[in-house]
Structure 1
Amino acid sequence: MLVAVAEKDLIRDTNLEYCDALRAAGKEVQVLINRGMSHSFYLNKFAVDMDPATGERAQELIDE
Structure 2
Amino acid sequence: MDKFVKELLTEDVLVETAKRYGIGKEKVYFVGGFENFIFGFEANDKSFIVRISHSSHRGLD
TM beyond 0.5: no
Give the helix-richer structure, 1 or 2. 1
- TM-score band, normalised by the shorter chain? under 0.3
Structure 1 or 2: more strand by fraction: 2
Output the TM-score relative to the length of structure 1.
Answer: 0.25
> Which protein has greater RCO, CA pairs closer than 8 Å, 6+ apart?
1
